[in-house]
Structure 1
Amino acid sequence: MTKMIQCISPVNGRVYAERPALTLAEAEAAVARAKAAQPEWAERPLDERIALVKAGVARLNEMKPQVVEELAWQMGRPTRYGGEFGGVNDRTNYMSEIAAETLSPMVVENSNLFERRIEREPHGLVFIVAPWNYPYLTTINTLAPALIAGNAVILKHATQTLLVGERLAEAFHAAGIPEDVFQNVVLDHHVTEELIGSRAFGFVNFTGSVGGGAAMEKAAAGTFTALGLELGGKDPGYVMDDADLDAAVDSLMDGAMYNAGQCCCGIERIYVHESLYDAFVEKAVDWVKNLKLGNPFEETTTLGPMANRRFADMVRSQIADAVTDGATALIDPALFPEDDGGAYLAPQILVGVNHEMRVMREESFGPVVGIMPVKDDDHAIAMMNDCDYGLTVSLWTADSTRAARIGRRLETGTVFQNRCDYLDPALCWTGCKDTGRGAALSPLGFHSVTRPKSYHLKKVTK
């Protein structure tokens, strides 16, 4: 019996899309086609591969109205925000610009006696397991460099964003990238794990939960398959005594609430120097009260539903537990009438929180943030590091030297000063602790989708 994979829309709770999952035999056939097509793709000139990838992204841009509407139905993001095209374009363009230099051989010697160099060689077949929260951006982070570097790619998208892989394949194939070189597939967990366990791929990039990352590692155990894992986050902001208070409130609260809080590097906990704490909290509450929760297709909506009711229920339980344990919720849910026990969830600010509470330790991935006062930098550093995750931190101060000094003591992948919730394609996107391992974007992103090969060529026999 064919297994159907269903996307339940958070907008109205109905089945928005469903597709049959491939059987193991069908998935193995897709892998075989990709591996057969990859050598010819890798033989194409680099400039040609770059041009085709950029043309694929250009085709995707032409589909913007359809893509934006589908995203709202699939995962609830308000249409007013227009999709993810800015980031997709910027990241593709940057990785295209640095490809020639990054992928060029590292020449150690080229003399009349020896030629010694290190080249970057594609893994062969790259498997992308993409998440639903930023479904185009997270895919393009690996898809663009993998194809540019000469790999074939198989993409498995999240159930919640079933149609994203189809749109990417449609756009890239229309641009001229061979259908076997880039394939979108629908797989269940069992078939996914079977493929990884059989060494079907040279590199697997997974973005998702810590549990999902553990499942990937377990499936790959003993295969020595290279893995890139971007997992959970509990990213903190720290507002120092010399911070621009208004700018800090605006950026940090946007970082906490945008996309209904469903951001890998969203702000989930905020520490404020005690001298600014009361003012920060007051301004933060006013900021959140200006949000408009509602139908993502309405122009006035700034906060749509969470992607799935079970995600909203988990955040509700974190908030309820925190209040039971002594926290104070500052936002009256009555201000947000869509909070009906379904996927629509009122935003919340919690004070009186501590690190014994789930909401300050577990990933929330929803529109809730806890705010705590701290007495000095050492106190803030201890609080920020008291976490199982390490993706980004956001430091608010007028002193860059101070920010860098604090940053060196933080267990994290990226240190921001006076900004948050942002990916710079020129910098490595990475994490530590339970956030995972690996690198995307920057020259190191190309290193992830290739492997080094050394050449030691002796030109004489004596």
Structure 2
Amino acid sequence: MTNMIKTISPINGEVYVERPLATVNEIDDVLIKAKLAQQAWSAMSVAERAQICTAAVDAFVANKEVIAKELTWQMGRPIRYSQGEVGGYEERARYMIEAAEEALAPLQLEEKAGFTRYIKREALGVVFVVAPWNFPFMTAINAVMPALMAGNAVVLKHSAQTPLCAERMVESFEKAGLPAGVFQYLHLSHADTESIIASDKVDYVAFTGSVAGGEMVEKAAAGTFKGTGLELGGKDPAYVRADANIDQAVETAIDGAFFNSGQSCCGIERIYVQESVYDEFVEKAVALVNGYVLGRSDDESTTLGPVVKASSADFIQGQIDEAIAQGAVAHIDSKAFTMAEKGTPYLAPQVLTNVDHSMRIMQEESFGPVVGIQKVADDEAAITLMNDSEFGLTASVFTTDVEAGIAVGERLETGTFFINRCDYLDPALAWTGVKNSGKGCTLSSLGYDYLTRPKSFHIKLP
């Protein structure tokens, strides 16, 4: 009997979609097709590739209502927000298309008598993209679009929670007339995923997921000398200075903590507030969280949906319970959120104070609707605590003194630094992390450096 993946919707606990896992022969066929198709694709001009990729984005956006509904049922984001992911996908995809001409242009060197010298950027070959379920389209397009625009072929493996996302992406490129074999998807077991990473038919791996998943990628790729890009999540901090606009800081930081039920790699998971504005911040944050509506994701009135699985809810609640046992103070009455029920993915949001770094809630990735808020005396204390983490994806400072904020940011161990915003990817900026948040870079013109190889031309003129 063929092995199947079954996507259990967090909305009702029922199977929403099921797909057969690819067989060994099907995997080999896809990789061989990709290798062959890539040669002709890379021979096309950047402008020709841009025309097809733009048409693919158009086709994808035209289907946004269907895509949004499927997204909601697969991973549980409230329907009122699901089309926003299509918008984010479009923004990133179009930017990377526009950036390609300049980013991929040969690097011309200064004149040298009797010589012509330049450096070209060549496609790597076949790029294997392993994408997660939490922002399934936006995370995938970060690597897929620049890989294709650079002249690579792409094989996409999506999470078993969101298999339709891979299918919809590939479908839009097929409608746009992308040559067969250039962009394909596979539904895979963990073992087959590892085999592909190790395969000599794959030239680069772009992975978004857990630290454990990143370790698997590095082990599987060891000895192959292929590049790997790893985006592994975070425990992202925000710092509210005494001079901040408190209303704006509360609105932005709390949304950054609870949007998508807290299931964001760059979501705010810990907040440090200068002591003179601490009480005001906490009071307003608690009021805002108490206004959330926890409910079924297909209900337009829902502002906070379920987490992806009941086991995830249990893990997050375990962190909360342990912190409370260690002295943390819970500010949200979970009983007020009537949809919350133990043993289901429906989890009440929580705001914790009297927390410290001895608690898992301030050190271990939660990936759920909970945030710890800690009082600090000054910038120095905040910087020390913000850097006290194994992760370093993003960090935010809320202040009206931009120069002081930048001075804090210069000392933070992070891939992206924000002032007065958070939880957002600007496609013109490099998306990267430090420490256990991973390595490599996607988005911006720099993202193309990781999906191409330099080739130097050193020509002595006759």
Q: Is the 8 A contact 1:109 1:117 kept in 2?
A: no
Q: Is the 8 A contact 1:109 1:115 kept in 2?
A: no
What amino acid sits opposite 1:280 in the alignment? F
Root-mean-square deviation over aligned CA pairs: 1.0
Specify every segment of 5 or more residues in structure 2 that has no aligned partner in the other structure, as ranges: none
Instruction: Report the counterpart of residue 430 of structure 1 in structure 2.
Output: 432
Q: Is the 8 A contact 1:28 1:195 kept in 2?
A: no
Instruction: Report the counterpart of residue 272 of structure 2 in structure 1.
Output: 271
Question: Does 2:204 match 1:203?
Answer: yes
Cα deviation code 1:274-324 (max 9, x no counterpart):
001111000000000110000111111001111111111110110011111
Partner secondary structure for residue 162 of structure 2:
helix
Q: TM-score, normalised by structure 1?
A: 0.98
CA distance in 2, matches of 1:3, 1:47: 42
Instruction: Report the counterpart of residue 192 of structure 1 in structure 2.
Output: 193
**1:442-453 matched pairs, under 5 angstroms:** 442-453=444-455
CA distance in 1, matches of 2:104, 2:439: 22
Partner secondary structure for residue 12 of structure 2:
coil
CA distance in 2, matches of 1:459, 1:99: 30
CA distance in 2, matches of 1:204, 1:197: 10
Q: Is the 8 A contact 1:230 1:436 kept in 2?
A: yes
Match of 2:371 among 362, 369, 375: 369
Shift of 1:97: 1.6
Instruction: Report the counterpart of residue 351 of structure 1 in structure 2.
Output: 353
Shift of 1:232: 2.1
Shift of 1:211: 0.3
CA distance in 1, matches of 2:152, 2:297: 37
Instruction: Report the counterpart of residue 39 of structure 2 in structure 1.
Output: 39
Match of 2:393 among 366, 391, 394: 391
**1:80-159 matched pairs, under 5 angstroms:** 80-83=80-83, 84-109=85-110, 113-159=114-160
CA distance in 2, matches of 1:181, 1:138: 19
Shift of 1:200: 2.4
CA distance in 1, matches of 2:238, 2:138: 23
Cα deviation code 1:242-286 (max 9, x no counterpart):
000000000000000000000111000000000011110000000
Question: Does 2:295 match 1:294?
Answer: yes
Shift of 1:112: 6.4
Instruction: Report the counterpart of residue 28 of structure 1 in structure 2.
Output: 28
Shift of 1:198: 2.3
What amino acid sits opposite 1:426 in the alignment? A
CA distance in 1, matches of 2:200, 2:313: 37
Shift of 1:164: 0.3
CA distance in 2, matches of 1:24, 1:411: 42
Question: Does 2:62 match 1:62?
Answer: yes
Specify every segment of 5 or more residues in structure 1 that has no aligned partner in the other structure, as ranges: none
Shift of 1:82: 3.5
CA distance in 2, matches of 1:85, 1:320: 36
Instruction: Report the counterpart of residue 9 of structure 1 in structure 2.
Output: 9
CA distance in 2, matches of 1:381, 1:317: 28
Cα deviation code 1:215-252 (max 9, x no counterpart):
00000011111000000200000000100000000000
CA distance in 2, matches of 1:272, 1:150: 47
Q: Is the 8 A contact 1:50 1:96 kept in 2?
A: yes
Question: Does 2:333 match 1:325?
Answer: no
CA distance in 2, matches of 1:144, 1:226: 17
CA distance in 2, matches of 1:450, 1:60: 26
What amino acid sits opposite 2:184 in the alignment? Q
**1:300-315 matched pairs, under 5 angstroms:** 300-315=301-316
CA distance in 2, matches of 1:299, 1:189: 36
CA distance in 1, matches of 2:180, 2:290: 48
Shift of 1:199: 2.4
Partner secondary structure for residue 261 of structure 2:
helix
CA distance in 2, matches of 1:110, 1:28: 47
Between the aligned residues of both structures, percent identity stands at: 53
Q: Is the 8 A contact 2:71 2:82 kept in 1?
A: no
Q: Is the 8 A contact 2:262 2:368 kept in 1?
A: yes
Shift of 1:109: 4.5
Shift of 1:399: 1.2
CA distance in 1, matches of 2:330, 2:180: 52
Partner secondary structure for residue 218 of structure 2:
helix
CA distance in 1, matches of 2:45, 2:120: 15
CA distance in 1, matches of 2:86, 2:283: 34
Partner secondary structure for residue 161 of structure 2:
helix
Shift of 1:197: 1.4
Instruction: Report the counterpart of residue 455 of structure 1 in structure 2.
Output: 457
Partner secondary structure for residue 457 of structure 1:
strand
Cα deviation code 1:175-223 (max 9, x no counterpart):
1112311001111111111121122211100000000000000000111
Partner secondary structure for residue 271 of structure 2:
strand
What amino acid sits opposite 1:252 in the alignment? A
Q: Is the 8 A contact 1:59 1:174 kept in 2?
A: yes
Partner secondary structure for residue 303 of structure 1:
coil
What amino acid sits opposite 1:392 in the alignment? T
Q: Is the 8 A contact 2:155 2:186 kept in 1?
A: yes
Aligned length: 460
Shift of 1:111: 5.9
What amino acid sits opposite 1:21 in the alignment? L
Instruction: Report the counterpart of residue 79 of structure 1 in structure 2.
Output: 79
